[in-house]
Amino acid sequence: MMRRWIFPILAGGLVALGAYQATLLATPYALMYAALQKIGGDGASNRFVFSKMATADNQPIVRPSPDLSYSTCVFDLSKGPVLIDVSPVPGRYWSVSIFDARTDVAAVRSDRDTKGEPARLALIKQGQIAPAGYEPVLLGYDRGLALVRILLANPSEFPAVDAIRRKSTCKQV
């Protein structure tokens, strides 16, 4: 009687292991996809969206920092490289990070790295070429997110910081 169940149970165990691994592997892609849909909800990719400061009523992503101004660009490399130009804010921590479709960080550049100069990144796939003057960032997927964080010492700085960050651009070549 029991012997009839041995192979089905082994098969079920293998299916369980497979389902476990598949769920873990799929989770980042699924959550990133949902986040990209939410952030780039109007369908416009390859341009920056300059978000308001996070509050209890405005939480575009999980665990937002209420001290940071966030600007996001949902990029799509399927039609060519995408150039990111980040306008520096003097004397403030700021950084631009590039996340791929699996949520991994492909690149981060902060004011410490650029010594206060603008950050200029070319997001490329294999076979694409970065234009002169841009640091190439190689990505394994078409879609992902560029995220600019700028630290505010207090909320009253927002208008000044907002004016500077709106000079940053995200555009397809």
Partner 1 sequence: MKAWQRYVIVMALGLVGGTAFAVHQVRGGLNDGLVLNGPWETGKSFGTLEASTLTRAKVALSGLMALPAKEAMYFTASRDSNGRKLDGRCSYDVRGGKLDGRWWSVTLYEGEGWLVKNAANRWSVAASAVTADAQGRWAFAVSPDAQAGNWLPTGSAKAFNLTLRLYHPSPEVIDSPEKAKLPVIERKGCA
- Would you tell me which residues interact with partner 1 (CB under 8 A)? 4-5, 7-9, 11-25, 27-28, 31-32, 35, 54-57, 59, 61-67, 93, 95, 97, 99, 102-105, 108, 110, 112, 145, 147, 149, 151, 153-154
Min separation Cβ 154 and partner 1, Å:
7
Strands 119-124, 143-151: pairing is: unpaired
Cβ proximity to partner 1, 112 vs 167, nearer residue? 112
Min separation Cβ 131 and partner 1, Å:
26
Min separation Cβ 61 and partner 1, Å:
6
Closest CA relative to residue 122, chosen from 95, 84, 79, 94: 84
> For the chain, how many helices (H) and strands (E)?
3, 9
Cβ proximity to partner 1, 21 vs 131, nearer residue? 21
**Angstrom distance (rounded) from CA 38 to CA 171:** 20
Cβ proximity to partner 1, 90 vs 133, nearer residue? 90
Q: For the chain, how are helix, strand and coil distributed in percent, rounded to 5?
A: 30, 30, 40
Min separation Cβ 104 and partner 1, Å:
6
Q: What is the DSSP string of 69-81?
A: EEEEEEEE-TTS-
Cβ proximity to partner 1, 61 vs 173, nearer residue? 61
